[in-house]
């Protein structure tokens, strides 16, 4: 279009659990244009959660097109976008045909808990047969658990994508056949989106995945940043189905079609690691928590892999370029955060919009002795109980929807505190403040309760699209845009510097300890409701 200004911008495609957004940033992380759209969620059976990969693809392309249209309405040419990054929901597993490029089945979402029996099976294998750590040398029982954790940083759980892929192969004949005929490609969402946007239609067959997402599969060696043959053998998977591993910041290819045809993709990163980068938590000891569908707390440990002994996971935070030394983090994940608010809205009808939760919770000074364990798909860190069930306890004739609303928000705060207690024990570091982002942080009540329950300061930035910003920073750094360099945090000094709000605890230590004791009792009552069975 004639008369449009030219600038230097970076785009971020944020493929979340329930929606996709495309955000265009300037050098200061001011948003120049954006677009967001939800895509369908499928729940065919209790505990199942699925996505259609093609719907994610089409929603992504539509968001890019709409954001570019909005950019031009704001007076800027779309050619101003110099590079884009992709960030994504992480452990969601996608399987597609090598020959046709079409999905073999719906993606199994990270929240899905159908694989409890698969986990039970491999727990039994670890206990009885063990993990072959060298030819003919097996480690089993507790030694096997520790060996698996030492290789991957993870533990056996329904959470991770190799477990979901194994379920697909065992339960969908078309996926089993594709692996047998070497016609199967596997990836997490960033791998799928990059495949369809970069190469499939252009015929180049680029199948890549970044190390942050790969560190959530149970298949990658955390230290070598390579697929580990021992884990592939353990899960009986062909190496040829896996994407080529790449760093978080490099040019992987160029967009094949659409509004930004020819623009390089320079950043791939899992959403929670993206938020860590977006919050500029690049040094050991810095931490952030993102409150979206779930809640994800990452504590940067620098170049050291710290093995948790208190229920946390070791993960790759980011790798700033090909061949560079990776940065690691400790992570604790909560499966249900914002999705509990959505449940109160959509299933229970307590509120008409998610934002109303704050007014409803504020209408009562406390939860009236109520505890809400939001274990809709079991419990993640630091409890790790896939058989745990959602529970509301302490109900009485005094209970109102306001008490339940407040208890739902408190559940989020209690689980955050549980993770931080574990991080303190593992890192020997006392957290002074917690940087936060994500949809739930828009409400002051949620942040006040988090500070009161946790006993620490909560720092909320003005621009809270930290996940998208992280992938934008990685993409920009890949082409040296604006002089950004992740290894030199000072080059990001001008990024997202507008005012932040700090929430400080208002409760006494005695008050915090009393409600914390009640929460721990509620957690114990929710555990072990449904156990997996080894096949």
Segment 184-201, tens digit of pLDDT: 999 999 999 999 877 544
Residue 466: Cβ within 10 Å count:
27
Q: What number is the average pLDDT over the span 351-379? A: 92
Q: Please state, for a pLDDT cut of 90, what percent of the chain lies above it.
A: 74
Query: Is pLDDT of 535 > 60?
Result: no
Reference 321, options 395, 263, 269; nearest CA is 269
**pLDDT tens per residue, range 151-178:** 999 999 998 999 999 999 999 999 999 9
pLDDT at 200: 46
Confidence of residue 258 (pLDDT cuts 50, 70, 90): confident
pLDDT at 202: 44
CB contact at 8 A, 190 and 88? yes
Confidence of residue 532 (pLDDT cuts 50, 70, 90): low
pLDDT at 335: 86
Residue 293 half-sphere exposure toward CB, CA atoms < 13 A: 19
Confidence of residue 204 (pLDDT cuts 50, 70, 90): low
- CA quadruple 442, 446, 450, 456: dihedral, nearest 10: 50
pLDDT, averaged across the chain: 91
Q: Show the tokens assigned to 373.
A: 């364990």
> In sequence order, which residues have a C-beta less than 8 Å from that of residue 384 and are 6 or more positions away?
155, 157, 311
pTM: 0.87
pLDDT at 451: 94
**pLDDT tens per residue, range 414-441:** 999 999 889 888 877 777 778 898 888 8
Surface-to-core class of residue 218, CB atoms within 10 Å of its CB (0-12 exposed, 13-18 middle, 19+ buried) = buried
Cα–Cα dist 114/94, whole Å: 16
Residue 230: Cβ within 10 Å count:
16
SS3 151: helix
> In sequence order, which residues have a C-beta less than 8 Å from that of residue 348 and are 6 or more positions away?
none
Pairing of β 249-254 and β 50-51: unpaired
Cα–Cα dist 348/390, whole Å: 14
Question: What are all long-range contacts of 191-196, with beta carbons under 8 Å and residues at least 24 apart?
Answer: 191/94, 191/243, 192/53, 192/56, 192/57, 192/94, 192/96, 192/107, 193/13, 193/15, 193/56, 193/57, 193/60, 193/86, 193/88, 194/86, 194/252, 194/253, 194/265, 194/268, 195/96, 195/101, 196/57, 196/101
Cα Rg of the chain (Å, integer): 22
Confidence of residue 203 (pLDDT cuts 50, 70, 90): very low
> In sequence order, which residues have a C-beta less than 8 Å from that of residue 531 and are 6 or more positions away?
116, 120, 387
Q: What number is the average pLDDT over the span 250-272? A: 91
Reference 492, options 25, 76, 24, 4; nearest CA is 25
CA 295 to chain centre: 8
CA distances from 331 to 47, 76, 262, 381, 419 (A): 24, 39, 36, 8, 8
Residue 6: Cβ within 10 Å count:
9
Q: Please state, for a pLDDT cut of 70, what percent of the chain lies above it.
A: 97
Surface-to-core class of residue 429, CB atoms within 10 Å of its CB (0-12 exposed, 13-18 middle, 19+ buried) = middle
Q: Which residue has the higher pLDDT, 464 or 507?
A: 507
**pLDDT tens per residue, range 448-493:** 999 999 998 998 988 888 999 999 999 999 999 999 999 898 999 8
Confidence of residue 205 (pLDDT cuts 50, 70, 90): low
Cα–Cα dist 26/43, whole Å: 39
Query: Is pLDDT of 94 > 90?
Result: yes
DSSP per position, 291-332: ESSSEEEEEEEET--PPPSSS-EEEEEE--STTPPPEEEEEE
Backbone angles phi, psi at 15, to 5 degrees: -95, 90
Backbone angles phi, psi at 102, to 5 degrees: -100, 145
pLDDT at 387: 87
């Amino acid at each position: 279009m004639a008369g449009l200004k030219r600038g230097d911008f970076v785009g971020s495609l944020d493929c979340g659990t329930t929606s996709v957004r495309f955000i265009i940033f300037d050098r200061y992380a001011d948003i120049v244009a954006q677009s967001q759209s939800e895509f369908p969620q499928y729940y065919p059976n209790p505990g199942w959660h699925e996505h259609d990969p093609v719907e994610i693809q089409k929603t992504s392309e539509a968001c890019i097109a709409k954001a570019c249209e909005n950019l031009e309405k704001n007076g800027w040419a779309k050619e101003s976008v110099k590079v884009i990054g992709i960030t994504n929901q992480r452990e969601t597993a996608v399987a597609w045909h090598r020959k046709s490029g079409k999905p073999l089945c719906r993606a199994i979402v990270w929240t899905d808990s159908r694989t409890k029996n698969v986990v039970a099976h491999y727990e039994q294998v670890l206990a009885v047969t063990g993990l072959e750590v060298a030819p003919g040398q097996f480690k089993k029982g507790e030694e096997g658990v520790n060996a698996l954790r030492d290789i991957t940083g993870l533990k056996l759980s329904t959470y991770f994508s190799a477990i979901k892929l194994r379920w697909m192969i065992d339960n969908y004949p078309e996926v089993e056949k594709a692996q047998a005929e070497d016609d199967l490609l596997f990836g997490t969402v960033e791998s799928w989106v990059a495949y369809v946007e970069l190469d499939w239609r252009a015929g180049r067959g680029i199948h890549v995945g970044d190390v942050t997402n790969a560190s959530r599969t149970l298949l990658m060696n955390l230290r070598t940043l390579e697929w580990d043959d021992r884990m592939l053998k353990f899960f009986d998977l062909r190496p040829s189905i896996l994407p080529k591993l790449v760093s978080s910041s490099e040019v992987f290819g160029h967009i094949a079609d659409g509004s930004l045809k020819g623009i390089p993709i320079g950043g791939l990163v899992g959403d929670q690691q993206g938020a860590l980068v977006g919050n500029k938590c690049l040094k050991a000891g810095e931490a952030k928590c993102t409150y979206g569908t779930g809640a994800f707390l990452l504590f940067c440990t620098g170049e050291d892999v710290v093995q948790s002994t208190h229920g946390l996971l070791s993960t790759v935070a980011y790798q700033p370029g090909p061949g560079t030394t990776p940065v690691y983090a400790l992570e604790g994940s909560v499966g249900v955060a914002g999705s509990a608010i959505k449940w109160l809205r959509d299933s229970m009808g307590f509120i008409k919009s998610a934002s109303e939760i704050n007014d409803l919770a504020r209408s009562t000074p406390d939860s009236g002795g109520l505890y809400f364990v939001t274990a809709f798909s079991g419990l993640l860190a630091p409890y790790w109980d896939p058989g745990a069930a959602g529970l509301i306890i302490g109900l009485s004739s005094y209970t109102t929807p306001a008490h339940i609303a407040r208890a739902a928000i408190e559940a989020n705060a209690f689980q955050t505190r549980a993770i931080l207690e574990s991080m303190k024990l593992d890192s020997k570091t006392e957290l002074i403040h917690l940087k936060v982002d994500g949809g739930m942080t828009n409400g002051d009540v949620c942040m006040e309760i988090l500070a009161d329950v946790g006993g620490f300061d909560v720092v909320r930035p003005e621009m809270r699209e930290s996940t998208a910003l992280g992938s934008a920073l990685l993409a920009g750094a890949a082409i040296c845009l604006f002089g950004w360099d992740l290894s030199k945090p000072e080059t990001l000094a001008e990024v997202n510097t507008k005012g932040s709000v700090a929430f400080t605890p208002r409760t006494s230590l005695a008050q915090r300890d009393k409600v914390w004791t009640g929460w721990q009792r509620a957690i114990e009552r929710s555990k072990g409701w449904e156990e997996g069975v080894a096949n």
